[in-house]
Amino acid sequence: MAHLQGPVPLDDTTYIERSFERELQRELMADRWALLLGPRQHGKTSALVRLRCSLIDNGVQAALVDLQAAPAPQSYGDFAAWVATEVRQQLGTNGQAQINSQDIGVLLGAALAPGRSPVVILVDEASNISNVAWRNAFYGQLRAISSRRATARPEDTAARLRFVFAGTFRPETLIDAANSPFNVCERIDSDDLTSENVNELTREILGEKETYLAAKIYEEVGGQPFLVQKLLSRLQGCDDLQRVLDAEITHLRTGESDHIIDLFRKMLSEPSLAAIGARMVRDGAAPVEAADPDFRYMQVLGLARRSGSNLVFRNQLYSTIAANSPQLGGRAQATALAPMFPVVLAAFNKVQNVELREIAWSAHKGAIASYRSGANRLALAGFGGSLEAMLLDLMQRQPAGTLPTLISAAGLTLGGRESPNDPSSWNLVTLIKVGQKAGGGGGFDPPQALRQWRNLIHPSVAQQNYRADADLEPEARSAANLHEILLRDLP
């Protein structure tokens, strides 16, 4: 049966080994450390579980440490001790003397039984150390183990330990480069299922007569393991398989799944990644810039793949969703609900006032939620509220005494309650027009349309040129696109 939660059980007959797993084994057998990168829900943990079992079956001691499972430690020493205890328990060396140290290398050395045999430690979710100081200490100490390997005696910890680090992250920014053990690892990227794999999995789960569905599944989601199994799980026990498959694919294309939301949120939360995605939507592909790690990270996230010298969306599903998302400049069909996604708070880091940043972010999040639920007026109000918070922050950042000059340059005469040096007293149209001047001519052009649409939340305004809420879906879609442009160009 299809398996959608957690590592695939060891006795599951549907498990398909992929080439990256064999590559990992080769690197370890060649006495090298490895870095395994790949999308979430891509089978990395299942592969590590099997790798550990295979090593043990071949007489090599191995431990698997999932950093996502770490408790909430009070200090770095507590965290390092937890890691060492996990290793100690899995290696069966609990009876050895335990020591008190702040150095993970020392703690791991004490967890090893005496001897010269190699020991492999598999570190899953390697980026899951939120405390920056602890993260740098942990990986800096592991890097020190690697640095000692050249001169270590066969019985020394440095000569015996082998590491695999796995996760979905940017190795070049996770920690300081000088402290990074990733620099001394062989990099391996997890790979998708092949079309033959999808055909085999379909036969195993649905039966020989239903393998004709494999081509349709592969055409839509490629070899993304989670999505392949998600679709197959929906088909189990159904009568009209083709109808159900078409319905499930249509539902996935709306973006209404945790898998899709998580992927697109990550891309849209980083302007540099969103720019690559928008270019792929606009041109069908984005030429890879080899020196730019963003292009590699788009592949690590799982959204994109290399096609010659270009980056393209990983599968037809992601391409369709991106092309229909106004946040990436896409245009949904009039009858379809356009895919829109929330972003993380850090996406609003250009907004320097902490309170206004949270206000802009929460207004945007509310706009997305409202649109998804069919409340287009509320969505327009949310996008407009986010715009106002960003512009107010921009005005508050201007050098003292310059606001009256900007007001004059905009050709404005302030209303009775508006004070030239207090932008919090200004109405939105003033913020927009002065904001354009504050942008310094760098292409920053706050959209008047957002102000007009936002006002539709007021019953008297909405009634003047009345449209039913459902008929405002195109405006909400356009507002999402304008908001992304504004956030991108915000000084």
Q: Is 13 helix (H, G, I), strand (E, B) or coil?
A: coil
Which has the closest alpha carbon to 447: 379, 403, 380, 384? 384
**pLDDT score, position 99:** 81
Sign of CA dihedral 471, 472, 475, 477: negative
The Cα 362–Cα 344 span in angstroms is: 10
Query: Residue for token digits 């195109």?
Result: 474
DSSP-derived letter for residue 477 is H
Q: Could you give the dihedral angle defined by the CA atoms of residues 37, 40, 46 and 47, in that order, rounded to the nearest 10 degrees?
A: -20
Question: How many residues in the chain?
Answer: 491
Count of CB atoms situated within 10 Å of the CB of 187? 13
353 to 241, 346, 349, 356, 360: CA distances (angstroms): 54, 13, 9, 5, 10
Domains of the chain, by residue range, sit at 19-189, 195-253, 342-491
Helix (H) or strand (E) holding 64: strand 61-66
Q: Is 66 helix (H, G, I), strand (E, B) or coil?
A: strand
**pLDDT score, position 4:** 55
Task: List b or e across 360-387, with b for residues whose CB sees 16 or more CB atoms inside 10 angstroms.
Answer: bbbbbbbbbebbbeebbbbbbbbbbbbb
Question: For residue 367, what are the contacts with CB-CB under 8 A and spacing of at least 6?
Answer: 378, 379, 380, 381, 382, 383, 385, 386, 476, 479, 480, 483
Assign domain 19-189 one CATH number from 3.10.129.10, 3.40.50.850, 3.30.390.50, 3.40.50.300: 3.40.50.300
Assign domain 342-491 one CATH number from 1.20.120, 3.30.70, 2.60.40, 1.10.3470: 1.20.120
**pLDDT score, position 252:** 95
Q: What is the token pair recorded at 195?
A: 């079309």
The Cα 302–Cα 40 span in angstroms is: 8
Sign of CA dihedral 320, 322, 326, 328: negative
**pLDDT score, position 97:** 63
The Cα 325–Cα 333 span in angstroms is: 10
How far is CA 138 from its chain centroid? 23
142 to 161, 172, 233, 348: CA distances (angstroms): 10, 16, 41, 34
* Consecutive 10-residue averages of pLDDT for the chain (491 residues): 67 87 95 96 95 95 96 92 95 79 94 95 96 95 94 95 97 89 96 96 93 97 96 91 96 92 95 94 94 95 96 97 92 73 95 97 97 94 94 94 93 91 93 86 77 84 87 91 90 88
pTM (predicted TM-score): 0.89
| Amino acid sitting at position 185 | C
Helix (H) or strand (E) holding 221: helix 213-221
Helix (H) or strand (E) holding 90: helix 76-91
